[in-house]
Structure 1
Amino acid sequence: MKTSPSKRELQHFLKRFVPDTSPSMPRIKPELNPQGAPGVQSPKDYVNALLSPSSNQIALTKVEGPFDRTGWQAVGSTLLKLQKLGMTSIVVADSVAWRSEQHSVELTKRMTRESMALVEAIEGAGGRARPIYGGLLEQGVSDIQVNFEFIQSALDNNQIPVVFPILSNNGMQQPIKANEAMVALTRNLAGPLKFKGITPARIVVINNEGGIPNHERPGTAHSLVNVQEEYDEIVKAYDDNEAWKKSHPSAIQNLDMVKDCLSCLPTTSSAIIVPTSSLPKALIANLVTDKPLYSSSLPISNLQIGSPDLLQVNQTRSTVLRHGIKINNYANLSDLDLPNLTRLLEASFQKKIDQSSFYARLERDLAGAIIAGDYEGAVLMTRERAYPEAQAHYYLDKFAIAPTSQGIGLTDILWKRMCDAYPELLWRSRQDNGVNKWYFERSNGYLRLKGTQWVLFWHGSKGFQFVEEYATIAKAIPASFSGLLTNK
């Protein structure tokens, strides 16, 4: 519970990981039997049943050793806790030491021997693990095939399968890279013959070095990566930084592996790269909230020295990655698909938009539009003046996320994209808007406008210089909606 999920996040977690139809969920409330009467579950039995190992969701997890004793204990304990919370890991063993050796029979034996440390770590934490090192991965005609009977047998017995990256090829056993095994497992799990109808909800990498180093905030890791949009920029920054190749030697290989895995999975799936030093908090918080520990859209300038958020930015070194969606910028209203934009705005705000007056204003004042995917999210910016001769300011007219695209990190991705494109901007929100807490955290300043229902917010270091103009603009913007949206 140290993850402190919001009510919405907790409901989302319970819906995914503790469904009402789960056979492990007890049917009798514990308070009905405080003394543990015969035939009725006691509170202790209820809790034990609630936390019994289950495989409602699957995480495909690469454990990239070697670790010291404390590191192995953290790994074993964390994997067991995730299993009790409804996410069972299919684990692939890895070690940076294996990569410098030639593939040989001796390397195969060494991999098998050293991978047992992972099995022992899980069992030492009180869990059950099953090593799988032969017959699981087989060389097919064009790619690696997976024999899932071994994994299914382990899961049916509440064991965590630990896969050694060893390939069967014409009767011979040969080592392969753990990343190859991860991609092969993902493709087969997500393929037409899905294993037990389950696709991985998470791709997890546990290592020593942590997540993807952040070129925008040196000394920290990226909090959230939209792979489709940011991959090339990250690779270029890594190639230009020789120090990272020593401090984060696996970063790009892991980024490539995650990119390949997420491309096979639904957009609801995500990945996380986390160092052992951040276990178990980083993985459990991500499991419960489905978010990074630190929001990538939160301005670092807003954080006070010594605040928990600033410590997370600098020390957690965990990176959440999503396949993401393509984001495009438009300058003219005529470039937009207005029927799709209307559907997005009305679904997001649950209000009927006054199309004629709203689009007439955008035709005149639109500064730019940022559209995510097939109108799954949108940012609409206008140029506004407090009076005709005044300087023009960027005004956030609409920020909308489709209900079907919420919870996949799109809000943070779009907000960061907007702030990069418009470093100085303002917006307004109704005083009773439940989103205001989120706005307070991301603004550089705000002002409650007396005599109105609005709170004025601004982003940027110069906003305080234009507060009076901002207030005049915020009061003058006409309403965009004509009433609540009704379902026909």
Structure 2
Amino acid sequence: MGTLRRQPLIGVIGIRCLEHSVHTRREVFEPSSIPCPTPVPTPSRHPFPPTQKLIFDVLSALPSQREARHFLRRFDQQPEAIASPIPPPEPAILADSARSDRLGIVCLEPHLDWDRLVAFAGTLVRLRTLGLTPVVVVDSGAVVEEDDVGDEEEEDEGREVHAREAAIREVFRVVEAIEKAGGRAMGLYNGVLNVAEEAGSGAEGLTLALAPIHAALSLNQIPVLAPTACTSPASTRMLVPTRSVLLSLARALSDSSLLGLPVKAIFANSSGGLTVRGRPVSFVNLEDEYDEMRTTVGTRAARAPYHEGPNETPDDALAVARETSTLDTLRALLAVLPRSASAVVTSADSSTGIIANLITDKPAPLTPHPVPARRGPTPPTLLRHGLPVTLHTSLTTLPLPRLTTLLDLSFQKSLLPTPFYTRLETVLDAVIMAGDFDGAAIVTKEVDPFWEETEGEEERAIAYLDKFAVRPDRQGSGVADVLWKRLRRRYPDLVWRSRADNPVNKWYFDRSDGNLKLPGGHWMMFWYGPHGLGRLNSYREATGSIPRSFAAPGESAAGGK
């Protein structure tokens, strides 16, 4: 693509139309708020047509009934409308000021190769079909490729102009990819962000006008923002940090009554999710884990199972800086967005993973055991503002009436408090509490019935998950993920049981290493950990002897046994 000519600051929105023909492409700049004519779609290179690809991604998510219902409520979807194509826009929509109820803030790494970019653009179109309207910001951190930097003696002003033009070119490359993928998009590089010269380019000095974004959304187009701002009073354009753009956009959308609520942030790149010591991180509870994560994110082990190559060092300084910056930016972004919002860091290739995350709003399960070395992007990382987590090793530090209420609400049954807490006084190992009684995991140490004195003392105890409870009004908000991550960190081996007809069992199947139906057929036993298979008989005997905790129908909880 040729060098971009500098344009005067005219009008509200700068739009570049890409007019295609068989042999040539002509670039025209128009200061306008009217959408570009959509080029005739070219045949897709993907193995599935767009609608079939959407169905494939949805089915690959394998949501449970609870997750499916939560998604449908959250995005106001009707089951028969999920796979419907985007209706063609009408000019009259502008006058109606149609509202997009669920917005996603997307930060996109620049200079992805064309096939990968078109594939990700197709994912954006499918997200829009499923009810999440993306607002895309092109990352300004690496908009100038090495070949474009020029001579080292180039003046700073020339570098700034070159970087700004590269950013705008990248915006319309994304627009072109979205239209090639069957969607509609509008590139916005003028009239959206403004900054006072004396304020600098930080988020505090930026102001964001939502009118151009609203115009694009009203025309059923995906807005693609350049990380450039107009200065006042000089009326010149400057490149601004991506973090500042994202925070300004998040604040403006959160405060707006005209546009929808931002519920998801997506950081798409070429490398995938976050890593710690060379291993993928599936979920981050920022409230509880940020400080620890910041000192280890991006680091590599001596033999990292992902991205391993002959020229890599144990700690790649560039990877550490990139992932630390991503972690810091997402923490600041989620602090601005509604508390129920979540963020995902993912490879632009991971269409199925992005769609699955939208539908289930949960992290992808990862095996806790070592995996073979392989190349390629790491699995996605889900981040939430999260909850504080407290650990209690004694019942004396807990208000038992509140814990009883949590268990009653979560299980929709009445706890038998006297026998339950009497047993816990002798076998309790820990109560992991999330938030203000939003959820709890109760773990006991059961005696291995087949333990022999010749074995070590550690082999005598079996870590048993006695109760895993989440308050009903907090289900689907990530509380279960917060508890589960803390369980996996504290207990390398764990066993538990669940009613055979429990609808939560699918969630347990995804997170266990194995399962077994106990005699009688009323209970399913689950376990994870490297010693599970070798202790199956012990697990079966121990879990089968645990007394019931809840009153039977018609039985008084106060007088139960």
* Distance change >3 Å, CA 354–CA 448, structure 1 → 2: same
1:257-279 alpha-carbon deviations (Å, 9 max, x no partner): 1111111223321111222232x
Shift of 1:231: 2.3
Counterpart in the other structure of 1:178? 242
Q: Give the equivalent residue in structure 1 for 2:96.
A: none
Q: What is the distance in 1 between the residues matched to 2:554 and 2:338?
A: 30
User: Out of 62, 66, 71, which is 1:13 matched to?
Assistant: 71
Whether 1:255 aligns to 2:327 is yes
For 1:221, give the aligned amino acid: P
- In structure 2, the residue matched to 1:206 is 268
Of stretches 369-378 and 122-131 in structure 1, the one that deviates more from structure 2 is: 122-131
Return the alpha-carbon distance in structure 2 between the equivalents of residues 71 and 463 of structure 1: 41
Cα 1:195–1:244 shift into 2, 3 Å: farther
Identity %: 35
Equivalent pair of 2:413/2:550 in contact (CA under 8 Å): yes
Q: Is 1:130 aligned with 2:194? A: no
- Deviation, structure 1 residue 168: 3.0
Tell whether the 8 Å contact from 1:207 to 1:275 is kept in structure 2 after alignment. yes
Count of aligned pairs:
450
TM-score, structure 2 length as denominator?
A: 0.71
Mapping of 1:232-251 within 5 angstroms? 232-238=291-297, 241=300, 243-247=315-319, 250-251=322-323
Residue 77 of structure 1 pairs with residue 147 of structure 2: no
CA distance in 1, matches of 2:182, 2:532: 56
* CA deviation string 1:332-384 (max 9, x = no partner): 11111323212211111000111222222223332111001111111111222
Contact 1:349–1:400 (8 Å) recurs in 2: yes
8 Å contact 1:221–1:317 — kept in the other structure? yes
Helix, strand or coil at the partner of 1:90: strand
Q: Distance in 2 between matches of 1:169 and 1:213?
A: 38
- Cα shift at 1:200: 0.9
Could you say if the C-alpha distance between residues 456 and 87 of structure 1 is closer, same or farther in structure 2, counting changes exceeding 3 Å? Answer: closer
Match of 1:86 among 131, 147, 150: 131
* Cα shift readout 1:422-462 (whole Å, capped 9, x = no counterpart): 22333222333333444345444544433573344443333
Indicate the larger mover: 235-244 or 164-173: 235-244
Residue 285 of structure 1 pairs with residue 356 of structure 2: yes
Kindly indicate whether residue 126 of structure 2 is the aligned counterpart of residue 55 of structure 1: no
Q: TM-score, normalised by structure 1?
A: 0.81
Larger helix proportion of the pair? 1
Give, as a single letter, the amino acid of the residue that structure 2 aligns with 1:184.
S
Partner of 1:146: 208
Deviation per CA, 1:10-55: give whole Å up to 9, x if none: 33333333446x9x979xxxxxxxxxxxxxxxxxxx9556798983
Task: Tell me the residue number matched to 2:492.
Answer: 423
CA displacement 1:263-310 (0-9 Å, x = unmatched): 1223321111222232x3222222223233x314x5447x9x9xxxx9
Matched-pair contact (CA < 8 Å) for 1:130–1:161: yes
Deviation, 1:467, is 4.3
Q: Secondary structure at the match of 2:138?
A: strand
Alignment of 1:105-116 (within 5 A): 105-116=161-172
- Asked if the contact 2:140/2:240 (under 8 Å) is kept, the reply is no
Q: How many angstroms apart in 2 are the aligned matches of 1:126 and 1:459? A: 44
| Runs of 5+ consecutive residues of structure 1 not aligned to the other structure | 27-45
Question: Which residue identity does 1:379 align to in structure 2?
Answer: A
Q: Give the Å deviation of 1:197.
A: 5.5
Structure having the higher Rg: 2
1:373 aligns with 2:435: yes
How far apart in 2 are the matches of 1:276 and 1:388?
51
Equivalent residue letter for 1:135:
G
- Distance change >3 Å, CA 466–CA 273, structure 1 → 2: closer
Query: CA 1:157/1:97 → structure 2, altered by over 3 Å: closer, same or farther?
Result: same
SS at 1:60 equivalent:
strand
1:267 match: secondary structure: coil
